[in-house]
């Protein structure tokens, strides 16, 4: 049986309004929200994905990606189905664009997820793979016992949650990676079927919270690879957020995408160009999938973490640079 949702309110004629994300879907009886994971049954909103993870795995925290939070540790990662975006480039589209229909998904209680993380020796739980906003009630019910058992809570998100949702999540959130997909509103409308400004507002809010924050941008040839747009994006992070916010530049692989299989893969030189744009804009920590994965101390230049892919090859620090003592990493 699906759980009744918490963040919604009732409208006339058995309609409801979901208050979880900036779509604020008004849903008539018998219909689902934009994300396909919430349904109005008889004038009440139900969350279809509560307790029904599609995928649970143990990943390096670097894969989220988070490079400055508990480096070198593993994180119990789970995702359900549904998403409040419809990105043509989505690589998890088989779950993100699903309503769960036809999936055999045994119920997993929040406490059993926390126990699994503890048994596996993971210091954190990541809500990832699909958009955690769409299963916020389930995530929150895991985040509470996770916190009381000393585990950290990590969201990997598109940043489209409402203020109501963030008010509930923020006190339990330890780290978040948000996709900032483009500075062009038209990209969000065309590629994701959403608006851009709520993502920018949430980034500004989260950077003032206690949660550690990192940002990822996927560079898609012809869609989000213009040096001018990337410059504006990097300057937004520098000027409106914090120049020390780590920025991850990722490369597009068309063969795994939902609707953009005819697009080109991102060339290495485009990624290098984005890296240069980020550094020139004044970002302290810029990473990419090809050449720039190490963490350098911005004060004295010491290589404090040497990485290859998701693997840490050398890690000489305890949160601070061994050369000059600058704080670089959040150890939780």
- Binding residues (CB under 6 A) for ligand SF4: these are 18, 20-21, 23-25, 33-35, 38, 83-87, 90, 92, 96, 130-131, 133-134, 158, 192
- The DSSP output letter for 281 is H
| Residue 45 vs 328, nearer CB to ligand SF4 | 45
Other Cβ atoms within 10 Å of 262 Cβ, number: 7
Nearest distance in Å: CB 37, ligand SF4: 6
| CA-CA-CA-CA torsion sign (137, 142, 148, 154) | negative
Sheet with 286-288, edge to edge strand ranges? 55-60, 74-79, 124-127, 152-157, 175-179, 212-219, 247-251, 286-288
Measured CA to CA, the distance from residue 206 to residue 271 in angstroms comes to 27
| Residue 80 vs 284, nearer CB to ligand SF4 | 80
| Residue 67 vs 188, nearer CB to ligand SF4 | 188
Helix axes of 136-148 and 110-119: crossing angle, nearest 10 degrees: 50
| Residue 134 vs 284, nearer CB to ligand SF4 | 134
Nearest distance in Å: CB 192, ligand SF4: 6
Measured CA to CA, the distance from residue 32 to residue 8 in angstroms comes to 13
| Strand 286-288 to 247-251 pairing | parallel
| Residue 203 vs 281, nearer CB to ligand SF4 | 203
Q: Is 19 helix (H, G, I), strand (E, B) or coil?
A: coil
| Residue 43 vs 243, nearer CB to ligand SF4 | 43
Measured CA to CA, the distance from residue 1 to residue 107 in angstroms comes to 10
Other Cβ atoms within 10 Å of 228 Cβ, number: 9
Measured CA to CA, the distance from residue 63 to residue 4 in angstroms comes to 33
| Residue 33 vs 246, nearer CB to ligand SF4 | 33
Nearest distance in Å: CB 87, ligand SF4: 3
Nearest distance in Å: CB 17, ligand SF4: 8
Q: Which residue is nearest to ligand SF4 (CB)?
A: 33
Nearest distance in Å: CB 244, ligand SF4: 25
Measured CA to CA, the distance from residue 84 to residue 82 in angstroms comes to 7
| Residue 90 vs 169, nearer CB to ligand SF4 | 90
Nearest distance in Å: CB 39, ligand SF4: 9
Nearest distance in Å: CB 34, ligand SF4: 4
Q: Is 121 helix (H, G, I), strand (E, B) or coil?
A: coil
Other Cβ atoms within 10 Å of 1 Cβ, number: 7
CA dihedral of 203, 229, 127, 321, whole degrees rounded to 10: -80
Nearest distance in Å: CB 28, ligand SF4: 12
**Which of 197, 274, 195 lies closest to 230 in space, CA to CA?**
274
| Residue 84 vs 224, nearer CB to ligand SF4 | 84
Measured CA to CA, the distance from residue 149 to residue 119 in angstroms comes to 12
Nearest distance in Å: CB 81, ligand SF4: 10
């Amino acid at each position: 049986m699906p759980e009744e949702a918490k963040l919604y309110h009732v409208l006339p004629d058995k309609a409801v309004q979901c208050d979880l994300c900036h779509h604020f879907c008004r849903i008539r009886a018998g219909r689902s929200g934009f994300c396909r994971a919430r349904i109005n049954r008889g004038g009440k909103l139900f969350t279809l994905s509560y307790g029904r993870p599609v995928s649970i795995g143990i990943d390096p925290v670097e894969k989220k990606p988070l490079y400055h939070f508990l480096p070198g540790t593993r994180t119990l990662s789970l995702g359900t189905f549904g998403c409040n975006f419809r990105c043509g480039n989505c690589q998890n589209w088989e779950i993100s664009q699903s309503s769960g229909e036809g999936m055999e998904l045994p119920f997993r209680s929040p406490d059993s997820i926390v126990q699994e993380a503890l048994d596996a020796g993971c210091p954190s739980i990541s809500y990832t793979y699909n958009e955690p906003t769409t299963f916020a009630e389930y995530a929150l019910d895991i985040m509470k016992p996770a916190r009381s058992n000393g585990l950290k809570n990590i969201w990997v998100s598109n940043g489209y949650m409402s203020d109501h949702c963030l008010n509930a999540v923020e006190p339990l959130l330890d780290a978040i990676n948000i996709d900032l997909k483009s500075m062009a509103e038209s990209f969000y409308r065309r590629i994701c079927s959403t608006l851009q400004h709520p993502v920018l507002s949430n980034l500004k809010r989260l950077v003032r919270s206690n949660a550690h924050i990192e940002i990822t941008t996927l560079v898609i040839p012809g869609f989000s690879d213009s040096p001018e747009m990337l410059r504006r994006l990097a300057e937004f992070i520098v000027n409106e957020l914090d120049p020390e916010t780590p920025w991850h530049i990722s490369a597009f692989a068309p063969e795994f995408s939902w609707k953009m299989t005819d697009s080109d893969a991102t060339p290495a030189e485009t990624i290098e160009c984005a890296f240069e744009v980020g550094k020139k804009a004044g970002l302290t920590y810029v990473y990419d999938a090809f050449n720039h994965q190490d963490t350098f101390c911005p004060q004295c230049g010491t290589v404090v973490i040497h990485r290859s892919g998701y693997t840490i090859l050398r890690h000489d620090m305890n949160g601070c640079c061994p050369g000059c003592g600058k704080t670089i990493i959040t150890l939780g």
